[in-house]
Amino acid sequence: MSIRVERDKETGVAVVTLDRPEKHNAITLAMARELGAVWRGFRYEDEVRAVVVTGAGGRAFCTGIDRSVDVPQPSSPYTIDDPLLALGPKTNDLWKPVVAAVEGMACGGAFYLLGEAEFLIAGESATFFDPHTTYGMVSAFETIHLARKMPYGELARMALMGTAERISARRAYETGLVSEVTEPGGALEAAREAAAVIASYPTEAVQGTVRALWSAGEAARAQALAHAPHLVALGNLPPERQAELFTRRRPGASDGHRLR
């Protein structure tokens, strides 16, 4: 199984781990389905009152969808099959608080998950970037998911600079994407501690607060997401051209980019 779930009955905290460290925790179609089922299942587990989501291995939180996965697309430009659409907890109607613990790289499709977490805690060696434009793809869903967490200029720069630039954990903290920076390797423990505090409070009040926070921008977010499939269909290069660009420079490559 590539999704690992641990439950601590004493604290009421569940830890969800993307467990493909050899592939930088890139998401397969099976993982996407499994993760959606995990979020939906938590709705019925009253003993789980807060959740931490993280990636195994320390080299990456997640690098988005596995590029070796073939995702057939309808021929109509008005529809698009995106296996990551139902990846996040809010999309699956889970209103229990989710804290993300990020070590290493977080890029591309990882933002479907990070954008639906209440807040992020990152190890000092974590980096954030969005490779879409580099490979001839529109960054639509990713930017919309992060629009609640980052100032417009910072988000625009990350989305447009592609693989040429990565945001350090410190810079992410300065701009509000990350709420706490730990020593390398310390993000998970810090996230567990924060989640345990939240889980110790009355669950109705906690979930009501999460729901209230999300209500603030939900209408604008829903409207933006409705446009996203059309922008992707219109702006993406053909798959064969994307693949050609991707083979030249993979997202995990450590050279040729600037850390900010």
**What pLDDT was estimated at residue 70?**
65
Tell me the average confidence (pLDDT) per consecutive run of 10 residues in the chain, 260 residues long: 94 97 93 95 97 96 82 67 83 96 95 96 97 88 91 95 94 97 98 98 96 85 73 71 69 65
Q: Are 204 and 95 in contact (CB under 8 A)?
A: no
Bin 15: left if φ > 0, else alpha if -120 < ψ < 50, else beta: beta
Q: Are 142 and 204 in contact (CB under 8 A)?
A: no
**What pLDDT was estimated at residue 48?**
98
Q: How far is CA 72 from each of CA 114, 115, 142, 171, 214, rounded to the nearest angstrom? A: 26, 26, 20, 37, 32
CA–CA separation, 197 vs 204, rounded Å? Answer: 15
**What pLDDT was estimated at residue 73?**
65
**What pLDDT was estimated at residue 240?**
67
Q: What's the token pair of residue 171?
A: 């810079």
pTM summary value: 0.87
Q: 192 Cβ partners below 8 Å, 6+ apart?
A: 11, 13, 15, 52, 101
Separation of first and last alpha carbons in the chain: 35
Which of 88, 18, 6 shows the shortest CA–CA distance to 48?
Answer: 6
DSSP 237-248: PPHHHHHHHHHH
Domains of the chain in start order, with CATH, are 1-71+82-184+210-253 (3.90.226.10)
Q: 128 Cβ partners below 8 Å, 6+ apart?
A: 102, 106, 107, 158, 166, 167, 172, 177
Q: How far is CA 90 from each of CA 36, 40, 131, 166, 214, rounded to the nearest angstrom? A: 10, 10, 24, 27, 9
How many of the other CB atoms lie within 10 Å of CB of 1?
Answer: 8
